Chains A and B, each alone.
Chain A
Amino acid sequence: NAGVTQTPKFQVLKTGQSMTLQCAQDMNHEYMSWYRQDPGMGLRLIHYSVGAGITDQGEVPNGYNVSRSTTEDFPLRLLSAAPSQTSVYFCASSYSVGPPEAFFGQGTRLTVV
């Protein structure tokens, strides 16, 4: 069981470039979400999905797009990278019932120069 897999682990982008952070889970979880982690600010929710074909905005959605065409995958797209998007990004997934324990990927460290 691989759990939640994020790629790449590290990325450097130039301002204005676009890219997609990949997230895949093999636990058949319905819920998936993206967070960004900045020093002293904890994790802030960017976008989340309650199932294939359904996405919604979190606390800090601007500059990011998501889609959920399959249960397994939940990619995060940066449309035009800005230095303010330099952060560590975490993908998480969980079941829809019971204590909703979220399983996290290892993170993607993104630097925008």
Chain B
Amino acid sequence: GEDVEQSLFLSVREGDSSVINCTYTDSSSTYLYWYKQEPGAGLQLLTYIFSNMDMKQDQRLTVLLNKKDKHLSLRIADTQTGDSAIYFCAETSGGSSASKIIFGSGTRLSIRP
């Protein structure tokens, strides 16, 4: 079945780059996502990548997809205190079945001064 795995915690120094990793099992995944959850809030979409792409860059965010290894990563350049949050990797399969978004357990990113 579908499964998405990520490490639970990451700590980086302010100004450094953060790299959050994720592995997934569904090779038919159409879209892969990164969502951000700030304390006490719902999830907000950060970025997504279509499964036929290798890389997507959006300002400080870079998403890398290795489809062969089913590995997805999110790089945040120049990490700031406002980036402290839980980051969820997620996938959908079957094209437009948006309701079946499968989430990982989330990686809590903390920023050291």
Contacts and interface: CB of A to CB of B under 8 A. Distances in A.
Contacts, number: 69
Interface in A73-113: 90, 92, 94-97, 99-102, 104-107
Interface residues of A, number: 29
A42 B99 contact: no
Interface residues of B, number: 25
Given A104-B42, A104-B43, A45 B102 contact: yes
Contacts of A102: 43, 45, 98, 101
Interface stretch (B10-18, B62-70, B74-82, B103-111): B103-111
Of listed B40, B41, B101, residue having the most chain A CB within 10 A = B101
Nearest to B92: A100
A50 interface: yes
B98 A100 contact: yes
Given A42-B105, A99-B48, A31 B42 contact: no
Given A33-B100, A40-B8, 7 more contacts: A4-B42, A45-B99, A90-B43, A100-B31, A101-B48, A104-B43, A106-B42
Interface of B: 4, 8, 31, 33, 40-45, 48, 50, 88, 92, 96-106
**Top 4 A-B residue pairs of the complex, sorted by shortest distance between their CB atoms:** A100-B98, A104-B42, A48-B99, A94-B98
